[in-house]
Amino acid sequence: MSTEVASTTQAPPVLEVVDLETRFHTARGVVRAVDGVSLSLRAGETLGLVGESGSGKSVLGRTLMGLIATGGTTEVSGTVRIAGQAVHELSGRQRRKLWGPKIAMVFQDPMTSLNPVRPIGVHLTDPLRLHLGLSRRAAKERAVELLDRVGIPDPRRRLEQYPHELSGGMRQRVMIAVALSCDPEILIADEPTTALDVTVQKQILDLLGSLARERQMATVLISHDLGAVEGRTDRVVVMYAGRAVETAPTTELFAAPHHPYAEALIGSVPALDAPPHTVLRAIDGTPPDMANPPVGCRYAPRCNRAQDLCRDQMPLLLDTSPGRSVACHFPVSVALPDVPEVPDGANEKETV
């Protein structure tokens, strides 16, 4: 077991990812959807994974689960350790044993992730009987408890209902109950509220938060919505074009982002308390073609702080303070020696 990093006071991480790469071989070339990401997660900790579509955050989530593994046109390298076991060295059979008791996932679309022809109860009792070996009767009792816990009224009756009889929010609660059924140590929530209405989104996020606290579950919350991550996670990893560009404690990140991308992303969301018609800080351009990413910093073509160095050399993810790191040659609001002062040119493109 890994003894090198774990300090005596802290529990060893339940999830440890070192230099993870997920590559897809496509007709247009090799796409590095996840390109050298490392992170670790302790019991009870919540990690936010933020990025735009194409940033690789969902692929990362699925690779963590072991749902994406080497085979066919996909390659995974690096290590993912769940409870000390390297997921990608396990056989398919052994990996399946992890799903449920060790790690579970909540998906974006609660309609398509439930089988429309099977009642709610079956979705819940199947994993209980398979993984925990419960009897039919005990599994049913447990299912009722679970539905009750995720806030579904009249759980006993719901067991007989089919997915289409429930609203989107209720279906997502069922999905959470299914994920929790084997009491996992790690929960990966991939855009769990994107398909839901605004008033329901908050309730689902609150539910996930309270469940994680109560069960000391390590949670990875994947979202494109900064608002969903703010105030609900302990740490955030900001991803851009397959790479982690900044990791920081959540409050620190939102207070003072170091990476220009993180800063621009936070600035591009309209604030509720800003007056109407405020010009938003949009990020120019579009994310890079992942089959042919730019040399150097991948954000450089869109960055208003980019200099020649950025276009030549890929910045590494380096610590700026304990628990914070950023992959940028010229980070925002960090006092580094010999960083030339760049005027905050908002949206204007560099003319030089």
Chain residues binding another protein by CB under 8 A are 24-28, 31, 52-53, 70-73, 75, 167, 169-170, 197-203, 205, 224-228, 230-231, 264-265, 268-284, 286-287
Residue 37: both structure tokens together: 């990401």
Closest CA to 269 of 285, 250, 282: 282
Query: How many separate helices (H) and strands (E) can be counted in the chain?
Result: 11, 12
Strand ranges in 183-242 using DSSP code E only, listed in sequence order: 186-190, 218-223, 235-240
Which of residues 92 and 270 has its CB atom nearest to another protein in the complex?
Answer: 270
Residue 174: both structure tokens together: 């069922």
* Maximal CA-CA distance, the chain: 72
User: In terms of DSSP H, where are the helices of 20-119?
Assistant: 57-65, 92-98
Report how far apart, in Å, the C-alpha atoms of 150 and of each of 132, 173, 177, 181, 270 are.
20, 6, 6, 11, 32
Which of residues 284 and 350 has its CB atom nearest to another protein in the complex?
Answer: 284
Which of residues 248 and 264 has its CB atom nearest to another protein in the complex?
Answer: 264
CB of 40 to another protein, least distance (A): 25
CB of 286 to another protein, least distance (A): 5
CB of 334 to another protein, least distance (A): 22
Q: Is 280 helix (H, G, I), strand (E, B) or coil?
A: coil
Which of residues 182 and 226 has its CB atom nearest to another protein in the complex?
Answer: 226
Which of residues 99 and 261 has its CB atom nearest to another protein in the complex?
Answer: 261
Q: Is 349 helix (H, G, I), strand (E, B) or coil?
A: coil
**Angle at the Cα of 337 (from 331 to 339), degrees rounded to 5?**
50
CB of 11 to another protein, least distance (A): 30
Q: Where do we find the tokens 């039919």?
A: 136
Rounded-to-10 torsion of CA 34, 253, 266, 211: 70
Is residue 281 within 8 Å of residue 268, measured between CB atoms? yes
Is residue 321 within 8 Å of residue 332, measured between CB atoms? no
- Tell me the DSSP string of 27-46: TTEEEEEEEEEEEEE-TT-E
CB of 337 to another protein, least distance (A): 31
Which of residues 40 and 55 has its CB atom nearest to another protein in the complex?
Answer: 55
Which of residues 140 and 258 has its CB atom nearest to another protein in the complex?
Answer: 258
Strand ranges in 152-311 using DSSP code E only, listed in sequence order: 186-190, 218-223, 235-240, 243-249
CB of 225 to another protein, least distance (A): 7
CB of 83 to another protein, least distance (A): 25
Which of residues 203 and 307 has its CB atom nearest to another protein in the complex?
Answer: 203
- With residue 321 as reference, give the H or E element that holds it: strand 318-321
CB of 137 to another protein, least distance (A): 30
Which of residues 181 and 250 has its CB atom nearest to another protein in the complex?
Answer: 250
Which of residues 170 and 248 has its CB atom nearest to another protein in the complex?
Answer: 170
CB of 61 to another protein, least distance (A): 17
CB of 320 to another protein, least distance (A): 23
Using CA atoms, how far apart are residues 17 and 30, in angstroms rounded to an integer? 22
